[in-house]
């Protein structure tokens, strides 16, 4: 179980500059969030860790950046225009609005609604006597299908012919570029193509802070392979994704796999597994791994009339590649890391809030703190040197104790204090966030020391 309430954690994240309510100046916009300086750093570091693990260190995977607005025929081909719906119900008494599948599963955790038709869900709503969580009554409107893709218009006229959609997933930008990537790269299977970027879904029930929003970032990989190897790669990514999320700081007791049962699987999928995380509000989907067979390429081949087959140079067989898809939500992963890191520790005289981030994820790797304002010039020199290799911060205000607490509360792994002795011995005090122990380090050995202690250096030149 998580030790701290979700309220406590989100209050800290909002007050310290990780996340701000969206459009706050104008009274906000429901369930929209902006990332402040600290949140933006965490998000960037998370994406960088993802890139390092899945792209740089994986010889098969390349990254592309497709457009957000695509030809609407893409979404017709994939079935999104016809089927990307959520089942919406309204309480007849208090008019609260819900997703019928969520409502049923929350009151009957043994019932899985994935893959159920509207008729089946309507029956379950009545048979299981589902009640409204707001007013307790149990009388709902029949389920209506609600299109989740955001529609807009391209060009100067708002006519049917100019309707376009904001992409609801990053994956399709990959499928429509499969042929391009094959043509312009080494052109052999297996090959993974990654896309990281914004996706938009007009969710009926966004909520739980940044867990479910209408605008979010996905980090998706489509891994193309031969039809007889897809289950092997599916197993590979199941393990690899779990080991990635643990390597950046999520603890194994808060993680579990949820294999989808046969009746839950999309009709084209051979296997699907979610990795779930125990958020303070309960278990929730962190990411998913799905075998998508050759469904998407098949659909695009049929709809576009372009040949998307692959000629195996060894067996001389021609086929449409099969695909395994690891799909991460950036903010969900970030939220898990923020919840996992948050801690309050009783000290002798007070309590400190400390965020135990992995050093690669922490907003700042180091803080440089002059003991007195008179030492600001020297300390600034140290800061300028370090900021070429790390996200560093420089703070001169308040007592040194207060500044340590501030850095603990935002998760800075190391504080470097410049004191009067520094001017004589050319050394600084380095304080460790987790142990609070201090060490004296010579300035000309500082870079090497930090690299060892933090386990990395981002050298920008
Ligand atoms: P859920 O069941 O929670 O709605 P999903 O199964 O529809 O998620 P996918 O379509 O598989 O999600 O998307 C892949 C990943 O994208 C999810 O595992 C999640 O991390 C992220 N994601 C999906 N929808 C949202 C959202 N509205 N807000 C934030 N992240 C999202």
* Distance from Cα 89 to the centre of ligand 1, integer Å: 20
> Does 113 have pLDDT greater than 70?
yes
Is the distance from the beta carbon of residue 288 to the nearest atom of ligand 1 less than 6 Å?
yes
> According to the model, what pLDDT value does residue 128 have?
94
> Does 278 have pLDDT greater than 90?
yes
- The predicted-structure confidence for 295-345, as pLDDT tens digits, reads as follows 999 999 999 999 999 999 999 999 999 999 999 999 999 999 999 999 999
Specify the residue with its C-alpha closest to ligand 1, atom 4. 212
Nearest to 379, CA basis, from 340, 418, 428: 418
Mutate to test the pocket of ligand 1, among 329, 333, 334, 335 (most ligand atoms within 8 A of CB): 329
* Distance from Cα 142 to the centre of ligand 1, integer Å: 25
- The predicted-structure confidence for 172-223, as pLDDT tens digits, reads as follows 999 999 999 999 997 899 999 999 999 999 998 889 999 999 999 999 999 9
Instruction: Provide the b/e sequence for 25-49 (b: ≥16 CB within 10 Å).
Output: eeeeeebebebbebbebbbebbbeb
Is the distance from the beta carbon of residue 331 to the nearest atom of ligand 1 less than 6 Å?
yes
Is the distance from the beta carbon of residue 327 to the nearest atom of ligand 1 less than 6 Å?
yes
DSSP result, 115-176:
T--HHHHHHHHHHTT---TTT----BPPPEEEE-S-EEE-SS--SGGGEEEB-S-SHHHHHT
> According to the model, what pLDDT value does residue 7 have?
97
> Does 461 have pLDDT greater than 60?
no
* Distance from Cα 408 to the centre of ligand 1, integer Å: 32
CA-290 nearest atom, ligand 1: 11
Is the distance from the beta carbon of residue 215 to the nearest atom of ligand 1 less than 6 Å?
no
* Distance from Cα 334 to the centre of ligand 1, integer Å: 13
In this predicted structure, which of 20-29, 260-269, 289-298, 353-362 has the lowest mean pLDDT?
A: 260-269
Higher pLDDT, 157 or 136: 136
CA-288 nearest atom, ligand 1: 18
Is the distance from the beta carbon of residue 201 to the nearest atom of ligand 1 less than 6 Å?
yes
In this predicted structure, which of 189-193, 345-349, 409-413 has the lowest mean pLDDT?
A: 345-349
Main-chain dihedrals φ then ψ at residue 108, nearest 5 degrees: -135, 80
> According to the model, what pLDDT value does residue 1 have?
60
> Does 460 have pLDDT greater than 60?
no
Specify the residue with its C-alpha closest to ligand 1, atom 25. 212
Specify the residue with its C-alpha closest to ligand 1, atom 13. 327
Specify the residue with its C-alpha closest to ligand 1, atom 26. 212
Residue 459 banded pLDDT, cuts 50, 70, 90: low
Q: How far is CA 150 from CA 35, 110, 147, 199, 214, in A?
A: 22, 33, 8, 10, 9
* Distance from Cα 329 to the centre of ligand 1, integer Å: 6
Is the distance from the beta carbon of residue 209 to the nearest atom of ligand 1 less than 6 Å?
no
CA-206 nearest atom, ligand 1: 27
Start-to-end C-alpha separation, the chain? 44
Mutate to test the pocket of ligand 1, among 87, 113, 216, 283 (most ligand atoms within 8 A of CB): 216
The secondary structure element, H or E, covering residue 13 is helix 6-16
DSSP result, 369-426:
EESSGGGHHHHHHHHHHHTTTS-EEE--SS-HHHHHHHHHHHT-SEEEEE-HHHHHH-
* Distance from Cα 2 to the centre of ligand 1, integer Å: 22
Domains of the chain: 6-81+151-339 (3.30.930.10), 85-147 (3.30.40.230), 364-454 (3.40.50.800)
């Amino acid at each position: 179980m998580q030790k701290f309430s979700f309220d406590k954690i989100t209050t800290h994240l909002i007050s310290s500059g990780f996340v701000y309510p969206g459009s706050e100046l104008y009274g906000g916009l429901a369930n929209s969030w902006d990332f402040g300086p600290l949140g933006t750093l965490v998000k960037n570091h998370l994406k960088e860790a993802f890139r390092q693990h899945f792209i740089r260190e994986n010889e098969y995977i390349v990254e592309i950046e497709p457009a957000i607005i695509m030809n609407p025929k893409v979404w017709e081909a994939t079935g999104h225009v016809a089927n990307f719906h959520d089942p919406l119900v309204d309480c007849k008494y208090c008019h609260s609005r819900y997703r019928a599948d969520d409502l049923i599963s929350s009151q009957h955790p043994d019932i899985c609604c994935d893959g159920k038709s509207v008729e089946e869900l309507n029956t379950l709503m009545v048979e299981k006597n589902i009640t409204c969580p707001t007013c307790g009554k149990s009388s709902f409107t029949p389920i209506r299908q609600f299109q989740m893709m955001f529609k807009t218009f391209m060009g100067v006229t708002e006519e049917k012919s100019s309707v376009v959609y904001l992409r609801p997933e990053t994956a399709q930008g990959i499928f429509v570029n499969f042929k391009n990537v094959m043509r312009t790269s080494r052109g052999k299977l297996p090959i993974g193509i990654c896309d990281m970027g914004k996706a938009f879904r007009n969710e009926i029930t966004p909520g739980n802070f940044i867990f479910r929003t209408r605008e979010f970032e996905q980090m998706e990989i489509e891994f193309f392979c031969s039809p007889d190897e897809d289950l092997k790669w599916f197993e590979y990514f199941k393990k690899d994704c779990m080991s990635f999320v643990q390597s950046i700081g999520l603890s194994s007791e808060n993680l579990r796999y949820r294999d989808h049962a046969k009746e839950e699987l999309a009709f084209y999928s051979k296997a699907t597994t979610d990795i779930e995380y125990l958020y303070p509000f309960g278990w929730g989907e962190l990411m998913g791994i799905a075998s998508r067979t050759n469904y998407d390429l098949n659909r695009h081949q049929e709809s576009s009339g372009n040949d998307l087959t692959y000629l195996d140079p060894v067996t001389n067989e021609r086929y449409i590649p099969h695909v395994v898809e690891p799909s991460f939500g950036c903010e969900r992963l970030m939220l898990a890391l923020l919840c996992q890191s948050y801690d309050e520790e009783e000290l002798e005289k007070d309590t400190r809030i400390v965020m135990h981030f992995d050093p690669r994820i922490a907003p700042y790797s180091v803080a440089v703190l002059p003991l007195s304002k008179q030492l600001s010039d020297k300390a600034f020199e140290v800061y300028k040197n370090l900021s070429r290799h790390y996200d560093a911060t420089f703070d001169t205000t308040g007592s040194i104790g207060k500044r340590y607490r501030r850095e603990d509360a935002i998760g800075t792994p190391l504080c470097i204090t410049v004191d009067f002795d520094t001017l004589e011995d050319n050394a600084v005090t380095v304080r460790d966030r987790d142990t609070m122990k201090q060490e004296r380090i010579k300035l000309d050995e500082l870079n090497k020391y930090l690299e060892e202690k933090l386990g990395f250096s981002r050298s920008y030149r």
